[in-house]
Amino acid sequence: MTINVTDYTRADFRSAQEVRWCPGCGDYTILATVQSFLAEMGIAREDHVFISGIGCSSRFPYYVDTYGMHGIHGRAPAIASGVASANPDLTVWVITGDGDGLSIGGNHLIHALRRNVNLKILLFNNQIYGLTKGQYSPTSELGKKTKTSPMGSIDFPFNPISLALGAEATFVARTIDMDRAHMAEVLTATAAHRGTSFIEIYQNCNVFNDKAFIELTSRETRDDNRVYLEHGKPIVFGPDDEYGVRIGELGAEIVEVSAVGIDAIQVHNAKDPEPGVAFALSRLSRGPHGPTPLGIFRDVDRAVYEDLMVGHIKQAQELRGTGDLAALLRSGGSWKAE
């Protein structure tokens, strides 16, 4: 029996595979949120494709009842780019992690972002290598002590949001595994976006990097540190919205609203064609410590890679048979030593 897409429930997107993550892992919450969201999208299961690389997050395609592929380390954006280009009617998801996506897969990731391929990239960031048992990752903080860095890591970490904005990604957002409602809001926005969507999801690894995001998840501190970005609204935060973000000569800075006045507070514009302010906001925190922006940093329109490719193909078809191969070979477009 074929199920009408409007009648989908989360159960329709649960595969028969046993979900195998460590008990308490943040991946469970992300999986449940995505499955529930897929049921609400109104898109047939067979029109979704989930592509992953290697890592704990990359088991994801086994657990959603759609098409999918568990790829090789770091290559998920490349595989997904091919799928999306050859099948532009599909909704193509990339599931990756801070190790998979920003280490061996870094180059594939930034080129997918700059090309604006129609992909939805979810990067689970737990600031550690979980699958291989606790080595420091490209987002681990300086001085991180692990099995491979017993005296502390001397690597400076990536800021994934800054990286995506620097690559001119057209949709860039951050959410957190413990806030399912906010994650669903971000997924709703990415569903409406054509082009590459990049969503960083702070995800707790309770075995190898527990409480890495405690300042954003603890009841005692979360209201002081979650800076929600809402398009068209002043960027304020705190239990009583007593703090705000102002863009100054040196970038984004935190101020007291009562000291500067609400008119001095930056009104968030996710549609700004220039990424400068969004980049400044991404530098407000260097990791999940202290006031940290969550939400959509950038959501702009730009030509989508697949559309441009289809245009080239049509142009080539129209020109078929009109070329002169012999003239091309004798055109002098080759180098000759003097």
Over residues 311-338, the mean pLDDT reads: 76
pLDDT band at 311 (very low <50, low <70, confident <90, very high): confident
Q: Is the pLDDT of residue 332 over 90?
A: no
Is residue 316 one of the residues assigned to a domain? no
Q: Is the pLDDT of residue 4 over 90?
A: no
Over residues 299-309, the mean pLDDT reads: 95
**Cα torsion angle, 289, 132, 145, 148, sign:** negative
- The two tokens of residue 56 are 């704990």
Q: Is residue 63 within 8 Å of residue 216, measured between CB atoms?
A: no
Cβ atoms within 10 Å of 174's Cβ, excluding its own: 25
Please state, in angstroms and rounded to a whole number, the distance separating the CA atoms of residues 34 and 48.
Answer: 12
Q: Domain of 172: which CATH number?
A: 3.40.50.970
What is the residue-wise DSSP string for 136-191?
--TTSPTT--BTTBTT---PPPP-HHHHHHHTT-SEEEEEETT-HHHHHHHHHHHH
Tell me which residue of 51, 123, 58 sits closest to 87, measured CA to CA: 51
Average per-residue pLDDT in the chain? 93
- How many structural domains does the chain have? 2
Please state, in angstroms and rounded to a whole number, the distance separating the CA atoms of residues 132 and 332.
Answer: 55
Element spanning 78, H or E? helix 76-86
**Cα torsion angle, 148, 150, 152, 154, sign:** negative
Top pLDDT among 116 and 2 is at 116
Domain that holds residue 174: 5-212+303-310
Residues near 243 by Cβ (< 8 Å), separated by ≥ 6? 236, 237, 254, 255, 256, 257, 291
In this structure, the answer to whether residues 179 and 244 fall within a common structural domain is: no
Is residue 219 one of the residues assigned to a domain? no
Tell me which residue of 291, 293, 282 sits closest to 224, measured CA to CA: 291
- Give the pLDDT score at 338: 59
Burial of 85 (0-12, 13-18, 19+ CB in 10 A): middle
Tell me: the pLDDT tens digits for 71-82?
Answer: 999 999 999 999
In this structure, the answer to whether residues 258 and 175 fall within a common structural domain is: no
Please report, rounded to a whole number, the percentage of residues in the chain having pLDDT higher than 90: 87
DSSP annotation of 266 reads P
In this structure, the answer to whether residues 237 and 195 fall within a common structural domain is: no
- Give the pLDDT score at 2: 55
Q: Is the pLDDT of residue 98 over 60?
A: yes
SS3 content of the chain, % helix, strand, coil (to 5): 35, 20, 45
Top pLDDT among 329 and 152 is at 152
In this structure, the answer to whether residues 32 and 164 fall within a common structural domain is: yes
In this structure, the answer to whether residues 111 and 59 fall within a common structural domain is: yes
In this structure, the answer to whether residues 166 and 100 fall within a common structural domain is: yes
Q: Is the pLDDT of residue 337 over 80?
A: no
Tell me: the pLDDT tens digits for 219-261?
Answer: 999 999 999 999 999 999 999 999 999 998 889 999 999 999 9
Please state, in angstroms and rounded to a whole number, the distance separating the CA atoms of residues 63 and 313.
Answer: 36
In this structure, the answer to whether residues 38 and 177 fall within a common structural domain is: yes
In this structure, the answer to whether residues 186 and 42 fall within a common structural domain is: yes
Residue corresponding to tokens 């592509």: 51
The residues facing 296 across adjacent strands are 173
pLDDT band at 1 (very low <50, low <70, confident <90, very high): very low
Is residue 321 one of the residues assigned to a domain? no
Is residue 77 one of the residues assigned to a domain? yes
Q: Is the pLDDT of residue 314 over 60?
A: yes
Is residue 165 one of the residues assigned to a domain? yes
Is residue 325 one of the residues assigned to a domain? no
Quote the distance between the C-alpha of residue 155 and its chain's center: 22
In this structure, the answer to whether residues 88 and 136 fall within a common structural domain is: yes
- Give the pLDDT score at 58: 95
Please report, rounded to a whole number, the percentage of residues in the chain having pLDDT higher than 70: 97
Is residue 53 one of the residues assigned to a domain? yes
> Distances from the Cα of 7 to the Cαs of 11, 49, 187, in angstroms?
11, 20, 20
Half-sphere exposure of 142 (CA within 13 A, CB side): 6
Top pLDDT among 329 and 208 is at 208
Is residue 35 one of the residues assigned to a domain? yes
